[in-house]
Amino acid sequence: MTQKSLNDGPKIALFEPDIPQNTAAIIRTCACLGVKLEIIEPCGFLLDDKRFKRVVMDYMDEKQIRYYESSYQFFDEKRNQRIILMTTKASSSYTKFKFEKNDTILFGRESAGVPQYVHKMVKDRLKIPMKNDKRSLNISSSVAIILAECLKQNKLI
């Protein structure tokens, strides 16, 4: 890994995550790849949830996680940064997109995605192509796919 710090590279952002095991798996992925995780609250679970603790194990490093009290705080602080929304409602595939080194890649709630106002606040919306009769991948799998592509394109792995 050639990344120098967690602030120097892409970031994964989760919009109000609601499944503890998925969030824990994403924390592990980010920790193993040296990527900062940003969580937009409220979460649909507590960090002392036993399902969360079982998956996160000893990968929980508060220095790698940034919490935002709301989506308004998140977008206000990111107003001069590029945010890419991953959504099944997008028409563009991630395979045809050029990720930049300091992108923030935003994923919605497992149960509901993101509200319409979030769609309107981001310019770039991407999807992972799937077979026609399939609805969506697990969010932790989606994060791993997109993060690997972003890191590869920017020669960070």
* CATH number of the domain residue 80 falls in: 3.40.1280.10
Domain-located, residue 109: yes
In terms of residue numbers, what domain contains 29? 11-153
pLDDT score recorded for residue 20: 87
> What is the enclosing helix (H) or strand (E) of 148?
helix 139-153
pLDDT score recorded for residue 4: 47
Domain-located, residue 105: yes
Domain-located, residue 137: yes
Is-contact 87 81, C-beta < 8 A? Answer: no
Q: For residues 83 and 123, what is the distance between their CA atoms, to the nearest angstrom?
A: 8
Domain-located, residue 146: yes
> What is the enclosing helix (H) or strand (E) of 39?
strand 36-40
Outline where 34-113 has alpha helix (H): 50-56, 71-77
Domain-located, residue 117: yes
Low-confidence ranges of the chain (pLDDT < 70): 1-7, 55-57, 59, 61
What pTM value is reported for the model? 0.90
Domain-located, residue 3: no
* Tokens representing residue 10 in the block: 């892409």
Is-contact 124 82, C-beta < 8 A? Answer: yes
pLDDT score recorded for residue 136: 85
Structural domain count of the chain: 1
pLDDT score recorded for residue 144: 97
